[in-house]
Amino acid sequence: MPLIELTGIERVFTLGDSAVHALHALDLSLEAGEYVAIMGPSGSGKSTLLNLIGLLDRPDAGTYRFEDRDVTTLSADEQARVRRERIGFVFQSFHLVPRLTAAENIALPLMLAGIEPAERALRVKQALADFGLADRAGHRPDQLSGGQRQRVAIARATIMRPALILADEPTGNLDRATGEEVMRLLEVLNHNGVTLVVVTHDGALGARARRQISMEDGSKVKDSR
């Protein structure tokens, strides 16, 4: 049973009179525990696909089954619950809340899920230690380096122990070495059973994945599986 099953997905954006087919007749199936890199030129629909998988966006046609459940018909709040409990996001621009400390940023998903402050503190402390941020707990994002910020973001994405991590150009704002380090962290998560989907421009980074998918003009043109 695949973790994710997309069939006949269409996503059309209308800009004025013209319609942009960001995704067209897309079929995709991901097994739990896979490590997938999505590659392709700019504008090929990588981010759109990732947003669809992450339930941030809805397809105009086609069905999306997540953990064997049709999630396209869920209400916005039900989709939010799936995101909260099963999916973690890592963004190119980190998306940390600037006024909150590293620890508070990591605690956000726990707070949204209504988890007790005592347990929250415990889990955040563990996460800080796991990601080498123990001495940065009280620092705000502007007091952290790019690599540290992305580590905070990854800690936040994993704190709810999701089944799926979606990363859109996670190393795009980082230098090579720091990028490598961030990728290694994500790969360790995958190694521990989390399904990992990474969108990247970088062929070398993409090659590290066990499965590569190439996109062009909203369609899947190559799938290494």
Partner 1 sequence: MTPTDTLRFATRAATGYPLRTFLMVLAMSIGVAAVVVLTALGDGARRYVVNEFSALGSNLIIVLPGRSETGGFNPANAITGTPRDLTVEDAQAITRAPAVLRTAPITIGTSEATYSGKLRDVTVVGATADYLKLRRMELAQGRFFSAEESNGTTAVAVIGTKIQSELFGVEPAIGRVLRVGDRRFRIIGVLAQSGQGLGMNADEVVILPVAAAQAMFNTNTLFRILVEARGRAAIEPARAQTLEILKTRHDGEEDVTVITQDAVLATFDRILGTLTYGVAGIAAISLAVAGILVMNVMLVAVTQRTGEIGLLKALGAPGATIRNAFLAEAALLSATGAIVGYALGQAGAFALRAAFPVLPAYPPDWAVIAALATALITGLLFGVMPARRAARLDPVRALSKR
Q: What residues line the site for partner 1 (CB under 8 A)?
A: 51, 54, 56-57, 76-77, 80-85, 87, 89, 91, 93, 95, 97-100, 104, 108-109, 111-114, 156
Contact 50, 197 (CB under 8 A): yes
Q: Is 47 in the site for Mg ion (CB under 5 A)?
A: yes
Nearer to partner 1, 125 or 140 (CB): 140
Q: Which range of residues in 1-9, 45-53, 68-76, 202-210 is near ligand ATP by CB under 6 A?
A: 45-53
Nearer to Mg ion, 110 or 199 (CB): 199
Counting every residue written for the chain, the total comes to 225
Q: Is 22 in the site for ligand ATP (CB under 6 A)?
A: yes
Read off the tokens for 184.
Answer: 């290694």
Read off the tokens for 74.
Answer: 């869920």
Q: Is 46 in the site for ligand ATP (CB under 6 A)?
A: yes
Q: How far apart are CA 66 and CA 112, in angstroms?
A: 22
DSSP three-state, residue 206 = helix
Contact 149, 80 (CB under 8 A): no
Q: Is 195 in the site for Mg ion (CB under 5 A)?
A: no
Q: Is 200 in the site for ligand ATP (CB under 6 A)?
A: no
DSSP three-state, residue 61 = strand
Which residues lie near ligand ATP (CB under 6 A)?
13, 15, 20, 22, 40, 42-48
